[in-house]
Amino acid sequence: MCLSERVGAGLVSARNKEFKMAKAIMIQGTGSGVGKSVIVAALCRIFLQDGYRVAPFKAQNMALNSFVTTEQGEIGRAQAVQAQACRIEPSVDMNPVLLKPTSHVGSQVIVLGKAIGNMSAMRYARYKPKLLSVVRKSFDRLMCEYDLVIIEGAGSPAEINLKSHDIVNMKMAEYADCPVVLVGDIDKGGVFAWLWGTLDLLPKGEKKRIKALLINKFRGDRRLLDSGIQYLEKKTGKKVLGVIPYFTDIKIPEEDSASLEMKTRDVRHTALADARQIEIAVIKLPHISNFTDFDALSNEKDVRLSYVDNKEQLKGTDIIIIPGTKNTIADLLWLKRSGLAKQILSAICYPPPLAKQALSATLIGICGGFQMLGKEVLDPWGIESSRKKRSNGLGVLNMVTALEKEKTVSQVKAHEITSGIEVSGYEIHHGRTEILDTLAPMFEIVERKGRRAKIKDGVLSSKGNIWGTYIHGIFDNDSFRRAFLERIAVKNNKSSSFQRGATFNQDEEFNKLAQLVRGNIDRRLLYSMIR
């Protein structure tokens, strides 16, 4: 039953009847990385707090961070986070088209949660118009189920070379017949020119659809912007909805890999680090995917997690993690060329006899990173690359992985075999890994796709200092994460407060985000747009 039908049936409060004529609002940006996803998450929580049933929507997303829904479909991680802000279950309708780049000129195309193949940029541009009906039907289903849909654009609506086959920006706004807020990032510099220039490149009808501007990531005294805002409003005829301060104390999962630059380890400051902290280094692979797997680790106060891309940054680490990747073989070759592979192998072994007291690092591989730990990775079908069909792995685990045509996409429940601790997560991979000796599995999957199962997953080395798994989101499980960190703390004589301290509360972070944005926007203007 759509909203208008529920109003007529008396199933919606009088307050929600305000949305009968306009049930969507769209957030577009002056470019990528200006904070659209976080602003959408903030609005989702604000409207939820104000009593509305809210859902996020992004017609097409390009990201290597993905999530598996209960429908066993793959969507962009950002839309899963936004659904979490709405306190609803993520759905493939919230992100009907997902592009996962496999190279600079091609991506795997995922439609309604299922991979339909790899396409070059030109081929996808020709194919995209066929997806218009798909994204519109997904949007319609959300509109029938929720009071308000917060739509996110992609990149910029003024990318004039892409406008002819647009399905995510103004074409979507026109179909939804909704107001648009244009967001600019002042931290990058030139925000006034960026906002004004974007408006100037739009046709008259599209320009009219933009009802307000929003300045994001501002540092400093808000009063210093007053003259600039007045000038901008006069020149564009658009009101500025608000100025959102730059923040570092609110932890919202990031979608853009550009955010990893801020988390890159600086070897110059290693000596200043708290010796009680557990040092975790995540390898920043060129095609890194699902780096949000490690957010829960970085939120622990006695952990210092950083992303590394050269061998010098690995010195002094307690845990090395090789994350997921969209191109396992290419990233494995990069790992060797960069010297990181050799440094990793050195870090997990004890030094020569003269330094017997030194401790080795623990090495972990997640999904593609797990595949790299074996003897060999094969790609006979050219799933990830048509050039390189095989590569030797790091060789620390006696196993071989072959990439298969069929993609495994599933939510799972499992338990750690050594401790019995229960965990949940999701699988997204093409690989099938064959264990060549009696290595112990790391987990046992007891439920997959909602059905009972008994499947061994991952590998644990005989010494316990190397392990891998196909399960994403494993560290989001509080009991497992803290037990694992406690073991590392005891082994390496570090702080051991993990079992006693309070766990991180993501829901509270959404409330903090909503409070910050609510306090820095013109709510009367916001509500006037959706009425």
Asked if 323 and 368 touch (Cβ cutoff 8 Å), the reply is: yes
Cβ pair 95, 79 in contact under 8 A: yes
Question: CB pairs under 8 A, 24+ apart, for 263-268?
Answer: 263/298, 263/305, 263/306, 263/307, 264/306, 264/307, 264/308, 264/309, 264/313, 265/306, 265/307, 265/308, 265/313, 267/312, 267/313, 267/315
Give the Å distances, CA to CA, from 215 to 32, 47, 218, 400: 14, 20, 7, 50
Task: State the DSSP code for 254.
Answer: -
CB-CB contact of 393 with 377 (8 Å)? yes
Which entry of 287, 429, 430, 472 is annotated as an active-site residue?
472
**Terminal Cα distance for the chain, rounded:** 21
List C-alpha distances in Å: 403 to 55, 276, 325. 35, 41, 13
Q: Is 178 a catalytic residue?
A: no
Residues listed for the chain:
531
Q: Round the CA-based radius of gyration of the chain to a whole number and report it.
A: 24
Candidate list 86, 367, 429, 430, residue with the active-site label: 367
The residues near 228 (Cβ < 8 Å, ≥ 6 apart) are 192
| 476 contacts: CB under 8 Å, gap ≥ 6 | 293, 296, 425
How far is residue 164 from each of residues 90, 159, 171, 209, measured CA to CA in Å? 30, 10, 10, 18
For residue 411, the surrounding DSSP H or E stretch is strand 399-416
| CB-based burial, 453-471: b 16+ in 10 Å, e otherwise | eeeebbbbbeeebbbbbbb
Q: Is 493 exposed, middle or buried (0-12, 13-18, 19+ CB in 10 A)?
A: exposed
283 φ, ψ (degrees, to nearest 5) = -70, 125
Reduced to 3 states (helix: H, G, I; strand: E, B; else coil), residue 176 is helix
User: Which residue is listed with tokens 């006695």?
Assistant: 302
Q: Is 65 left (phi over 0), alpha (psi -120 to 50) or beta?
A: beta
Tell me if residue 347 falls in helix, strand or coil: helix
The dihedral region occupied by 172, where left means phi > 0, alpha psi between -120 and 50, and beta the remainder, is alpha
15, 108, 185, 385, 425 from 326: Cα distances, Å: 46, 9, 29, 10, 19
**Is there a catalytic annotation at residue 472?**
yes
Could you list the active site residues? 367, 472
